[in-house]
Chains A and B, each alone.
Chain A
């Protein structure tokens, strides 16, 4: 057991899979000799060599297209897109190519690859380097979408993503890279499509993802200690496949649902979860489900502005208290 950062967990996860399987290769901008702009790939080039860890030009379409061609013909590539906002310049692969090849070819074409990317706000980078784009990906049939919140989950879910036969979008949160967590020694392998109850509770269910998980947990402690509200916090971890059973079971127990989403409000993942709960567990609810999101605006750069648009523990506490009438 050791305490490592989320950043080092990325390195360890990639290294674990590259050491296990020679067909795992890794490409991206500045990922090899420089070790990545977030220093989340330091040492991989030295450990696995220039044939398996490759720097690319600033050519996001070439990166994702090359990953796909390699995946179709037998490799298991991990491709890095430096900032998830850049998905917009290579979205053809994410929306049209990876997820549709198998279906259109009646099962002939395979696409076992992972796209890792730095997602999310908190770095004061402004509207084009801070977005949470999980909903861009979640809406596309054929993709899997994962967003870990802890170093342990980074390793286990990354390993599961690499071993998965489908294209997986792996969203690393930039503001979590420096955070730390306990990680056991030896191989770590998790399961896609599984949510995790990170704080059991009985009064309401709060569902969060990535950076929002720690904020939901902080809010839950305040709600418990200062207001006597016992929240169950669920880290959804995997948007596709989605672990609806864990969510529905929790709502059946607590009878109240909150989502905490970093993405702008419209078409966020929380809306889909609220819809599922409304369809399938309406009579379990004692009140309306409530979504706590970033407002529907581009993200500002200034810290004072960025800090107030993302959901905070304070906003979660206030919203839950108001909704529960406490």
Chain B
């Protein structure tokens, strides 16, 4: 969990650390509210049968996506999992593009060809959402290798869940990144459950990512993933390390998802009271209080809330009105020539 050094030092007597500054704090808040509202809307639209297929929400995990995205600069690359809505939105992808893809409309990010689990927006640095557990850790290594080879200063950030730490690709990628000293950051969102099973029941160590770090010569880092300031500061350090050519970081962020694993999961396997306990540490709630501690007015907070709500409402209406994808995209972009021809 967060350590004293994550919170200190503040202005004398205030107990508050103002290293982040008001503009970035407001951005961190806005981002978290935006992810929360957009995903809550996605869930509502699912209940109306307007979101099709599957979806995996990050409700309760917003501080990680917001904290890392706000620490990135243009050109940095995000590699996400099937639970990737939040990470995609956090890089600035319009809510309409994400909801449109979830609703399988022509205005979606990939016009309905990818779906919820494969959100990609390269112009925003979102290099894909990967639905095969572990696959994107080596891919992020490759993007980081390109940066190292070309002398580019961008950093590749790879987000994944606690369950990923038990698949082979995790270990191959960590070793590979460490040996090649690649500018890549591995971010484990430990929400305590590997799909429906407590991660502790299936993992040899208490902290599934951090307790493996030493095997790859990396620092053991476990942080409070529900505090966006802690995430942001930790991310900044990792970015600085990567950009300085000092290699990869592995960061385990402790968090909790408020919803089930996927839309089909009511999460009945959780012990009574656990969700309620974590909701007291809701990242959006924590951050709203943080803003107030720093003297941000209720009006300013309400203004942010209202403008986010408007973006989500407008996006929802635009998606409801959007057409379904045309059938002629069915066979486009199988190959680089734009088509699907496998023979002459």
Binding site for B on A (CB under 8 A): 25, 51-52, 54, 56-57, 59, 61-75, 77, 92-93, 96-97, 101-110, 112, 141-142, 144, 164-166, 193, 240-245, 276
Contacts and interface: CB of A to CB of B under 8 A. Distances in A.
A65 B139 contact: yes
Interface of B: 77, 109-111, 113-115, 118, 120-122, 127-128, 130, 132, 134-147, 149-150, 156, 168-169, 172-173, 175-176, 179-180, 329, 332-338, 340-344
B344 A68 contact: no
Contacts of A61: 134-135, 138, 168-169, 172-173
A69 B113 contact: no
Given A96-B135, A104-B114, A108-B121, 12 more contacts: A62-B138, A65-B139, A66-B142, A68-B138, A72-B143, A73-B127, A92-B135, A104-B110, A104-B113, A105-B114, A105-B120, A106-B332
Contact of A69 (B134, B140, B180, B336): B140
Given A101-B128, A109-B120, A166-B335, A75 B146 contact: yes
Contact of A65 (B120, B142, B179): B142
B173 A106 contact: no
B327 to A, nearest CB: 14
Contacts of B139: 65-66, 68-69, 72, 97
Contacts of A96: 132, 135
B245 to A, nearest CB: 13
A interface secondary structure, majority: mixed
Contact of B176 (A66, A68, A75, A193): A66
A193 B344 contact: yes
Nearest to A239: B342
A23 to B, nearest CB: 8
Contacts of B334: 102-103, 141-142
Contact of B342 (A62, A65, A241): A241
A160 B107 CA distance: 36
A25 B335 CA distance: 22
Contacts of B111: 106
Nearest to A106: B110
Contacts of A65: 135-139, 141-142, 169, 172-173
B143 A69 contact: yes
Contacts of A69: 127, 138-146, 156
B121 to A, nearest CB: 7
B336 A165 contact: yes
Pick from B127, B179, B333 the residue with the most CB of A within 10 Å: B333
A66 B149 CA distance: 13
Pick from A64, A69, A77, A102 the residue with the most CB of B within 10 Å: A69
A73 B146 contact: yes
Contact of B343 (A66, A75, A110, A244): A244
A164 B336 CA distance: 9
